Amino acid sequence: MPPIGRFRTARSAAADSAAPTTFRDLVPTKLAAALWDRLQKYKKISGFPQQETCELLIVDRSIDPIAPVIHEWTYDAMCHDLLNMEGNKYVYEVTTNAGKVDRKEVLLEEHDPLWVELRHLHIAAVNKKLDEKMTNLKEKNKAAQIRLGSREGQELTTRDMHKLVQALPQFRDQIEKLSLHIDIATKLNKKISELSLREIGTLEQELVFGDASSKDLINIFTTNENLTKENKLRLLMIYAASHPEKMDAAKRLQWMKLARLTEEDMNPVVNMDYMGVSVSKKESSGFSIKFGTRKNKRGLRKERNQDDEVYDLSRFSPMIQEILEELASGKLSKDEYPYVKEPSAAQIQMMAGDSLSVRSSPANSRPAQSVRSTWATKAKLSDDGQSSDSSLRHAHSDPKITGRRIFIFVVGGATRSELRAVHKLTEHLRREVILGSTSLIEPHEFLTKLKLLSVFKEVSLDELEI
């Protein structure tokens, strides 16, 4: 299954900031070239397909420095951001009728149909759906009403759910799944309140879309006592990314004092420079080579026309979504994302056919209900020992998927908001979109890695093994 390969050029990465091109900017270029050389060797093998049957785009993490740190309000992302999960493992406690506390572990994966149904929904929609499911179960089962009648209108506890299992053994699996996700949602809602995440999330969205300024950031730092160090840093990183060249040494010192952060704490903010963000103005030197500079056209996001309901805290869409839409429609810039090898006339015609089917497909039609997971990582095993791309094996059988596959690989880690975006695009484009990366990163992991960047020496392409 050879792909038609494209990559984010170093010229594009350098042009997004005032910094000169570095070896880091050339990593997608080298990876694309190495993959092309490997495919040419494979093509010499008897029986190996000679025609490209899919599209591949290679980018790096600098395409979107905001996505890893902005709070994502969908169920899956919030679980991994707020609940200290180990991989996909969730640990919770259940109190029995005898008062004994049982500790349970569960994997939040494809085998749980309720998880699959909820994972990409906004937390508000999750709360509503869980409430509806519990109400329906109580209304349909008199035994449940008898057992829970005394608690009508009150929040259900895991102990209540355990009583339901005893009263309705035939619904054991359904009730236990509900109990699990009610427990998770309850903990998430508690975290939202304790950490003032609604206020933080609102400011994040407003910073990204240009509706807030440094005054709003100063206000939340001086009035909100619930801000954790991590959330202060995430706000400052979003501010730096959306307001380039506004954080020179003097201003950084002011922010440090205001947010009560140390110089070491501020390293992730300063190191956003490695992500293509112009954190502060660059001093002009006597001589430097630059590919040409322009203001970051992707710094502030524009409002998107959304087909589905949009919550105020979920206006943000990762840049991958826009790039993949442009790729699928044939509008992706060849200057910023050149081909490894220019496609033939026949291949261009084939891609034009895919683009035409995207434009002519009913955008508001009912989405495919059997879209499978589109996450893939390099030789990565999930917590149950299964390859993380195992769910892709039969994805081609979905009759609603009509176009050729699109692969996008992110060097430096992909986010859960990007994972959600490719799920959505698979439905919208009617083409299977598969996200691959060196890792799936959580916000706290990204901050830790970014903090350490300043202690590493510059990457040498000769030392880079692919």
Give me the phi and psi of 256, to 5 degrees please. Answer: -60, -45
pLDDT, tens only, 52-90: 789 999 999 999 999 999 999 999 999 999 998 999 999
- Categorize the per-residue pLDDT at 458 as very low, low, confident or very high, splitting at 50, 70 and 90: low
Q: What ranges do the domains of the chain cover?
A: 3-64+318-463, 91-194, 197-275
pLDDT at 296: 44
**Per-residue model confidence (pLDDT) at position 176:** 84
Distance CA 21, CA 62 (A): 13
Q: Which CATH class is domain 3-64+318-463?
A: alpha beta
pLDDT tier for residue 436 given thresholds of 50, 70 and 90? very high
Predicted confidence (pLDDT) at residue 370 exceeds the cutoff of 80: no
pTM (2 d.p.): 0.81
Residue showing tokens 């695009």: 425
pLDDT digits (tens, 9 = 90+) for 335-359: 999 999 888 766 666 666 666 555 5
Q: Which residues contact 431 (CB under 8 A, 6 or more apart)?
A: 328, 354, 358, 401, 402, 403, 404, 405, 406, 425
* pLDDT per position as a tens digit, 122-164: 999 999 999 999 888 777 665 555 555 545 555 556 666 666 6
pLDDT at 49: 82
CATH architecture of 91-194: Alpha-Beta Complex (3.90)
More confident site: 199 or 385: 199
